[in-house]
Every structure is written in C-alpha cells, then in structure tokens.
C-alpha cells in the first residue's frame, strides 16, 4: 500500500515538498498513529513538528486508532493560524 499525505504551511516548507509518499509495504490498512510514525521515519525534517500536528482523513481530524486505507485523502494539519 502506498499512501500520499498532503503537507501545508510550515510542514511543507520544512519537508521541501507539498506531499509525502509512504510506501507501507504489503498491508491493506494502517492506523493514523502508524501513518504518523511512518512520516517521521520517511521525513526526519518534520519529525519534531509532528507532536503539534494531527492527521486529517477525508477532511476530518482523526484519532490515532483510526484505520486508514489507500483510498483515503490524507493531510497533515498543524500550526494553523488564519484570521
């Protein structure tokens, strides 16, 4: 399974890209917590920032135990500040 996680704002700047591709091997689903761990491993530049970020699945924040599959739209959201 390959997952694509969209990055924005300071996360995209730190990573130097607007999306992270995660090769998760031969599994059909992972939890959001496992996806966050995979992101830290794939992109050490954002590892320290992940503590203040949440994963959004299909435009909704999820908890670490939420299942995620390849069909889901994933985004890393943190340090927002509109207005």
Judged by the rule CB under 8 A, the positions of this chain that interact with another protein are: 6, 8-10, 56, 59-61, 75, 77, 79-83
| Nearer CB in complex with another protein: 27/63 | 63
CB of 12 to another protein, least distance (A): 8
| Nearer CB in complex with another protein: 8/47 | 8
E-strand stretches of the chain: 2-6, 19-23, 30-31, 53-57, 60-61, 67-68, 74-78
CB of 4 to another protein, least distance (A): 14
Find the helix or strand (DSSP H, E) in which 15 lies: helix 9-15
């Amino acid at each position: 399974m390959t997952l694509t996680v969209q990055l924005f704002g300071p996360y995209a700047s730190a990573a130097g890209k607007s999306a992270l591709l995660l090769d998760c091997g031969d599994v059909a689903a992972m939890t959001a917590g496992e996806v966050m761990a995979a992101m830290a491993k794939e992109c050490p530049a954002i590892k320290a920032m992940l503590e203040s970020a949440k994963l959004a699945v299909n435009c909704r924040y999820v908890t670490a135990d939420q299942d995620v599959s390849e069909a889901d739209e994933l985004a890393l959201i943190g340090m927002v500040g509109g207005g």
